[in-house]
């Protein structure tokens, strides 16, 4: 099983700042089969990024994904108030089986 | 727009059974593989099961294999999860999610709002 470790657990930032979230895999994720999701309280996860760097339809360009192999990053430029949420990475290299990271909470400082 | 609506959750005693449903609309349901994923405060997001678009192949996590059965009825645009021999560890919010595979890149795109399953005596 591919284990995904996200860091930091919590990120305290102000609106307008940049958020950098990390996701490290225990094994190489081939073909960059890694996605990022945003989840707000009481809501389902929302797809932001797939294929490590491709934005899903309707996702603002302040969200960007990068990385390959075992190290991946989600960057949120110029945080908006609606961006404060929990973010999860997910690998689908072993699809249909999926694994998720433990999440990073981006909170208002 | 795409909608996935889960139902069937509730409170059940250990050893009991429940059947969850997930109704899809706004997309061509029969062309998408479908997952069940569950979420708990302690264990986070955990993949449970997957069924191919035509129902031909089914896959399960080790934690539910032999107890849960995933199925679908494409004539009703509905996904199911039959859960038997439930334990307290199965207590979670259960989501259904669709899988999109453009060019072989098979990612999870849409999720329902979830249905809560509580296993308790």
Distance from CA of B65 to the nearest CA of A (A): 13
Nearest CA in chain A to B50: A96
Q: DSSP secondary-structure letter at B48?
A: E
pLDDT of A8 > 90? The answer is yes
Q: pLDDT by residue (tens digit) across A20-47?
A: 999 999 999 988 999 999 999 999 999 9
Q: pLDDT by residue (tens digit) across A56-85?
A: 999 999 999 999 999 999 999 999 999 999
Distance from CA of A96 to the nearest CA of B (A): 6
**Tokens (6 digits) for A98:** 């999926």
In DSSP terms, A81 is beta-bridged to: none
Residue pair B70/B64 in contact (Cβ under 8 Å)? The answer is: no
Measured between CB atoms, which of B35, B44, B107 is closest to A35?
B107
Gap between the Cα atoms of B17 and A106, Å rounded:
38
Per-residue pLDDT at A46? 96
Tell me whether residues A96 and B112 touch, CB distance under 8 A: no
pLDDT of B36 > 90? The answer is yes
Q: Which residues contact B19 (CB under 8 A, 6 or more apart)?
A: B8, B80, B81, B82, B83
Per-residue pLDDT at B104? 82
Using alpha carbons, select from B107, B121, B120, B118 the residue that is nearest to residue B41. Answer: B118
Task: Quickly state the pLDDT bin for B42 (edges 50, 70, 90).
Answer: confident
Per-residue pLDDT at A30? 86
pLDDT of B120 > 90? The answer is yes
Q: pLDDT by residue (tens digit) across B59-78?
A: 999 999 999 999 999 999 99
The CA-based diameter of chain A, rounded to the nearest angstrom, is: 38
Per-residue pLDDT at A100? 97
Tell me whether residues A97 and B112 touch, CB distance under 8 A: no
Q: Which residues of B touch A98 (CB under 8 A)?
A: 35, 37, 47, 108
Task: Quickly state the pLDDT bin for B103 (edges 50, 70, 90).
Answer: confident
Tell me whether residues A43 and B113 touch, CB distance under 8 A: yes
Distance from CA of A98 to the nearest CA of B (A): 6
């Amino acid at each position: 099983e591919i284990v995904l470790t996200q860091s930091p657990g919590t990120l305290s930032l102000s609106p307008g700042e940049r958020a950098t979230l990390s996701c490290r895999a225990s094994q190489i994720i081939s073909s960059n089969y890694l996605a990022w999701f945003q989840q707000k309280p009481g809501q389902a996860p929302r797809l932001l990024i797939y294929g490590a760097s491709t934005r899903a339809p309707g996702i603002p360009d302040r969200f960007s994904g990068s990385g390959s192999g075992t190290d991946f990053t989600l960057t949120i430029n110029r945080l908006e108030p609606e961006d404060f949420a929990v973010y999860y990475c997910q690998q689908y290299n072993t699809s249909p089986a999926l694994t998720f990271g433990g999440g990073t909470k981006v909170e208002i400082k | 727009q795409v909608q996935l609506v889960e139902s069937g959750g509730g409170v059940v005693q250990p050893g009991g059974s429940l059947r969850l449903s997930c109704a899809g609309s706004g997309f061509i349901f029969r062309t998408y593989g479908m997952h069940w994923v569950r979420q708990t405060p302690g264990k986070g997001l955990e993949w449970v099961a997957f069924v191919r678009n035509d129902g031909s192949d089914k896959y399960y996590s080790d934690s539910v294999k032999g107890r849960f059965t995933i199925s679908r009825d494409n004539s009703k645009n509905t996904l199911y999860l039959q859960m038997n021999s439930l334990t307290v560890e199965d207590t979670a919010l259960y989501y259904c999610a669709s899988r999109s595979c453009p060019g072989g890149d098979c990612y999870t795109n849409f999720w329902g709002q979830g249905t809560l399953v509580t296993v308790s005596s």
